[in-house]
Amino acid sequence: MEFIINNQEVLAQLPALQPNGIGISSSSQPFIEANTIQMPVQEMKDQHIIPVWASSNEPLISHSEFIEATWEQVHKQFRNETILKPNIRVSHPIKGRIPEAKHKAAKDLEPWEQTIYYERMMFVIELPSIRDEVNGNLLSLTIGGVKSYSLDNLYSKRPSGDQHFQLFIGFQNKVCCNLCVSTDGFKHELGIKSASQLKYAVENLINQYNASKHLNRMKSMTNMELMESEFAQVIGRSRMYKHLPEYSRKDIQPMLFGDQQISTVVLDYYKDANFGTEIGGSISTWQFYNLLTGANKSTYIDSFLVRGVNATDFTAEIIQHKMGTKRSWFMG
């Protein structure tokens, strides 16, 4: 697998990663915002309870184990690169209390009497020494995953019960912390039974990913323009898409962004300092793509990667329509 560059000048400016997750964090800005909070991995290990399979009381793979398994494989595959500590976002807290506090009012609970874990978690690990530029935007390689316990059947019997994980490898736009993920760098709903299987899945994803191909695909987005009228056509039909009869949608490239995200795209078309334009102006499909990935930050964790990949595929079809190689329903 061929990667980009190892910029020693940049590396010299970064503090070295230390054990136990001490060091500079991947992404100083949130890569996802919707209903999430940042969470240190050590706090997850020390303070969060671990869900179990109800029938056997055996523990599931915890969020921290998922992160550590990925971290181990990233270090194994990229020994000579700078690797930043994981940036972790969690949502949907599941609260509880110890038996001795069952009669207490919630406001009277002491911290040691409360239990918690988070149903959904997403993390990214950034490798700033593997980087390139697209249209003046610095991109750095990023690896991570999503875990939502809501997708697991916790009442199934072990050892047949699988846990479901999502893994990705792609690039992060450092101008805005938008994540750029393609189909080739995404594993959706992996059924995993053990931490060793999880490590193997991470290793396979890294080895199969073609960074140069992904970068070239993004660079090609800078060569095509969308006029305001064309942008309006795409936005209008994107709103119409979900209301089409099911038989009509089957041959159309899906648009998975909801009304809230589409409204954000329209707002940023005129307001975003990096990817917007003035009234009557045009934008490149690279700008359009980043408007989509920026709006994706308001998506819940469990839908984030699916919509991120959809942004890539959707923009690719717009480009193909403009080139005359494939008709897009969204362009009329």
Phi, psi of 101 (to 5 degrees): -105, 20
For the chain, what percent of residues have pLDDT higher than 90?
75
Average pLDDT in the chain: 88
Provide the pLDDT confidence category of residue 101 given band limits of 50, 70 and 90. Answer: confident
pLDDT higher than threshold 90 for residue 108: no
Inter-residue long-range contacts of 48-54, CB under 8 Å, 24+ positions, other chains counted: 48/116, 48/117, 48/118, 49/96, 49/115, 49/116, 49/117, 50/117, 51/94, 51/117, 51/149, 51/154, 52/154, 53/154, 53/155, 53/156, 53/157, 53/158, 53/161, 54/154, 54/155
Provide the pLDDT confidence category of residue 242 given band limits of 50, 70 and 90. Answer: very high
pLDDT higher than threshold 80 for residue 111: yes
3-class DSSP assignment, residue 56: coil
Domain ranges of the chain: 8-212, 224-331
- Mean pLDDT over 38-61 rounds to 90
Reported as a single tens digit per residue, the pLDDT across 226-237 is 999 999 999 999
pLDDT higher than threshold 60 for residue 172: yes
State pTM to two decimals.
Answer: 0.88
Provide the pLDDT confidence category of residue 184 given band limits of 50, 70 and 90. Answer: very high
Q: What is the pLDDT of residue 157?
A: 64
Q: What is the pLDDT of residue 102?
A: 84
Expressed in angstroms, the distance from the first to the final Cα of the chain is: 39
B/e letters for 21-37, b = 16+ CB within 10 Å, e = fewer, are: beebbbbeeebbebebe
CA distances, 18 to each of 1, 14, 180, 211 (Å): 27, 12, 28, 27
323 CB burial (10 A radius; 0-12, 13-18, 19+):
exposed
